[in-house]
Structures are given as C-alpha cells and as structure tokens.
Chains A and B, each alone.
Chain A
C-alpha cells in the first residue's frame, strides 16, 4: 500500500499537508479507516516516540509530527465514529490546577491520540472537579495529570484524593508526569503510573488500560 507508506513518512517528517493528502488518497483507494490508524498512524507515532527517546527528535520535531498525525486523524475520526469503532482506551488529560505549562501535556496528548486512544484534553489549570466530571461523563478509564511547577505538584495529590472521595478511584487509572515529577512522588500520592517522557506515556497507558 504505497499511500500508507507516504502517510507514515509524512508523520515522521512532520509534514501535515502531505499527511492529509496521503490520508485522502488512502481512503479513496478503499483502505479501511481503522487500518489507517492501527496500521500506519500508531506505528508512525511509536517511531516518533522512539526517535524522541533516543534523542534524535526534540520538542519541535515532535510537535510537527503530532500536527501531521492530527491532520490525518481529523479525516479518519468521523469515519471511525460512524462505524462505531471503539478506541484502545479513553484518556482525560490536563495540566493540574494553578499551572499553565501545557507543552509537555500537549505532546503526551498527541502521542496518546497517535497511539490509538481517544483523548479528552481539558487544557491547563484544570481543577479536580473538572477531571472528575469529564472522566464520568466521557466514561474514561485513564486520567493523565501534568505539572511543571514544584508549587503545583500538590494539585496532583488533591486530584487523586478527589477521585478517591468521589468513589471513582477503582474505575480509573491515574498517570502523572512533568519535569519535576518523579516515580517516588507518583507512588507517594497514590498514582498508578509515571513516565518521564511522552513516548513512555503511551507504553504506560497501554499497560494501565489492559488491567
């Protein structure tokens, strides 16, 4: 399928126009929407994550790849929805209350989306109640919290505790990340997982979504 090779290439190279064109071409050629996602976008974004992990790629390349992936997704998503295809999992993601740093969170959201998850991005400065509300109404099985300030890290604990008090702690897995966050901190506040990078976040989400 030459068109999917082109799409794969366009995502890796971060060319959103080429990605959109290749997606249209693939659909016109009769490729199933789900095949475009699982057979091309997911492996392409995995490759982007790997390139980031081994320090080949950095934030700019990753943002461009994410943009290309999204251009393709924008075409494929309505078709998937029409066919009633279920995503790998549903993730509610946001930067915690008090914090406006959202670049890392955006990268994680894109990688998760590229990994086949349905992503509900609540943006930045998100209060615990909003995480709870979105997780309930959208029936999410994963919640991802990001914080970049040492002073807003406690908001992560407040959010985890809020899920506990709302009686939802068993229904969702909570993962945390952001530059000052560590595995120890994640353990201490009772989160289910931590990853130091956006690529790692996808592997983590896949692991958490299974159990």
Chain B
C-alpha cells in the first residue's frame, strides 16, 4: 500500500502517516520497528536509531523508521504494517531448460504475485507482490462482477496494466497466469453475466492467450483454464503442484478462505467444489477482526489456565486475525469457556483476549458458519476416503493445525501437509515443462468434475452438523 507525503522542512514523516492511520507501536521511541516504511520516491536520510532497528539489507532496500524519519519535499512510501502476508514459492521443480526468461502470475482476489523465472535453470529471479487494485471496486468477487456489469471492461484494464507494470520491461518468452473464474473472466474481458446467478455456469471457462502487443506486456500471456463454477486455474495449478492427477489413491487439496475450495481426486478422477466460507478467516465480520498486520493477535496459547496472546509487531493488540481467531476458539474450548455448540459459557458472553480485544458470541457464530462450510464441503467430497490432505493458500499456511483440528475445521484422522502457494508453484512447473504442458492441462480438465454443493438437499444437515466446534473424523 503506497502513500504520498509532502512533509514541511525538517518535519518527521510521523505526522502525515499518523493522520493516514499508521500506528506507532512503541510510541515513536524508535524501539520496535513497527512503523517501518519503505521509501519508493524522495530522500529520507538514515539515522543512528534506524541502524539499530533495521538490518543493513533493509536500509539498502529503502526501509526507514517513520517515527524518526526527517524528510523534505515529496516522499512516496510503502507502509509495512498495511502490507499483507503474501505467500510466494521457491520450491525446486522439474525443468526442461530453454533459453530466455518467463514469468508466472498468481492473480488473487486480494493479492497479486509475479515471479520472473530464468528458463535456462528454473531459478526465480524476481518476485513482486501487490494488492489487487480491483479491490477499490469491491472486496469480494461478487461485487467486482457486479461492477463489471455496470462498467464493462474497466476492471480488466486495471488489472492488466497493474500486472504489466509488475512484470517490468525485460523481454519474456511467455507469461502464465492463474486465478479464480471471476479473475479469469475479468482479465480476459469475457462476459461475466453467467457468473452472477445460478447455476453459475459460464460457457467461457477455457484458457486464452494474448499476444504481447495486445497487452503491452514484455511477452505473450496465457491464462490457464478454469475447472468449473468458481473453481479456477489457481486450483488447476494446485492440482499440478500436488500431482493429484498422478496419484493412484485419492488425495485432497483444501483452500481455506473467503472463497474456499475443495478438490479431491487421483488419476482416476477429480471432483471439485467451492465452499464459500465468508470473510471470517480474514478477520472479516468479526467485531475485533483485522487482517494479519501489526497489532493483530495471530497466535493464542493456553498458559496457567489463561490465554496467552502473541501480537504481530510486539506492541499492543488492536484486534485478532484469522489464525488468532482459530487459536482463540481452540483455547476457549480447552478451558471450557466455549461449548461444542459454540456458546460462550461466562455470564457476559465474551471471551477476552487482551486489553480491549475480546470475542463476542456473534464472532463465534461467524466462525462456526465459516468453518462449517469448509468442513462440510470436505466431508461431502471425501466419500470414499482420502490418503492425505494438502492445505493450499496463505491461511492454511499460518493456522496452527492442532487448533484447526480442535475446532473441527480440519479432520482428526488425516495427515495434513501445508503446501504454501501451490497455485504459483503449479504455474511455474507448467512454465518450465512446455513439452508436456498442453497434454497435462487437457488431462486434468477432462478428469475434473465440478459439483454444486447447494444442489444437494443433504448439504444443509451436514453443514449444521459441521458447525459444531468439536473434533471430527472423515472415516466412520
């Protein structure tokens, strides 16, 4: 998140940033580093205090402490505490060496990740992350689709330009893009109308290509195909990364988030479904909820019969993020403060976490709705039993598995392996193996079947059952 400031002569950046809502965890004592900003444009000299709080490398990269930064004239900064935890991926993957550079893009509803890759050896040369600029026009996919109906094409132009800037100017042999069905349609300027009502079936789910001139990008682009409904090529490339299509026994890929997804399958066949959990795991619709930034409780443990909270940045707690919410609920159950039916047991129906931060009964209810939808979707698709569960995405990477099991989000009886940003990794695997790419994509698309959970009348009862904040098993 960028911010432009015009400080008066020899004034610190703190005033302007404070007015913009940036917080100073240690009160501007230059002690905590929580007010870190990265200078993108303008001059901000390094002080002694900064040398103490920041690493050599950070200073070289333009990081400064806002509380003691003196500047003159126009300064553009990026604010650390507003930046999201964006998952990239550097895992080694098989490669067919060829000349030149290429890139992969994970086009998320909230965040964007671009990786520029050396095609000769598979090395990741550069990673760029940013917030999806479409967010200004609506936080969730539905509101963006709605915007596109009113202003067709605008969101497509916005995202293509933003990604073009992130790719830079150096020539690229090809760029592979993955994203959910809404992102796919908006990027390609396709008609989004079929995605705005039941049965949510679009006739244009296929992949598409753009020549470099069409996009004014440094290379030609290919957006990989969607699997059906809202399940897009981010999941398709997740299947590639976890090799679901090559397994002999069924495995599951679980993406926990606002627009959650479940994929279960093997080389014999793959089923996928979207399980719209809602924003609780991102701190949305939770009274004290916030994203995983400075001041967020991201970790809760039971200590001496009470709750021990970890706060990002080390300062005072301002709220609780998704991983903290799951932890807090698990600890609450452990201490008998929350019953399996979600009810808070104390008289005022609140679960205090830290000074000024507490969970209310309605927050626990939101968590039940969200985790219930994810777990019900998983149970619905894992009928014949699965070998292992791969956890995709940022949230899956940060939650404590023990807590997720205790609240009944993850099953008891299954090995769980977080796979980080599997969408990005799968895309890179496809980029680096051009000879087999087409056939593999075709095979996965042919193997996959999308199921609409809402179409099943039993979903409601399974969903209600899975709202319980208690452990569950997939088998038996």
Q: Which chain A residues have a beta carbon within 8 Å of chain B's beta carbons?
A: 55-56, 58-61, 63-64, 97-103, 106, 124-125, 149-152, 155
Contacts and interface: CB of A to CB of B under 8 A. Distances in A.
Given A149-B142, A151-B145, A58 B198 contact: no
B467 A60 contact: yes
B463 interface: yes
Contact of B142 (A56, A63, A124, A151): A151
A58 B365 contact: yes
Contact of B146 (A64, A97, A151): A151
Interface in B291-313: none
B460 A61 contact: no
Contacts of A55: 343, 349, 361-362, 365
Contact of A124 (B362, B454, B467): B454
Nearest to A103: B460
A106 B142 CA distance: 23
A157 B341 CA distance: 37
Interface in B452-470: 452, 454-455, 460-461, 463-465, 467-468
Given A58-B368, A149-B142, A98 B197 contact: yes
B143 interface: yes
In the complex, the 8 A-B pairs of residues with the closest C-beta atoms, listed nearest first: A98-B197, A100-B454, A60-B464, A151-B196, A55-B361, A125-B198, A100-B198, A63-B464
Contacts of B343: 55-56
Interface of B is mostly: helix
Interface in B128-153: 142-143, 145-146
A198 B322 CA distance: 28
Contacts of B143: 150
Interface string B165-206: 000000000000000000000000000000011110000000
A71 to B, nearest CB: 15
Contacts of B342: 58
Contacts of A124: 198, 454
Given A125-B198, A150-B143, A152-B197, A59 B464 contact: yes
Interface string B425-463: 000000000000000000000000000101100001101
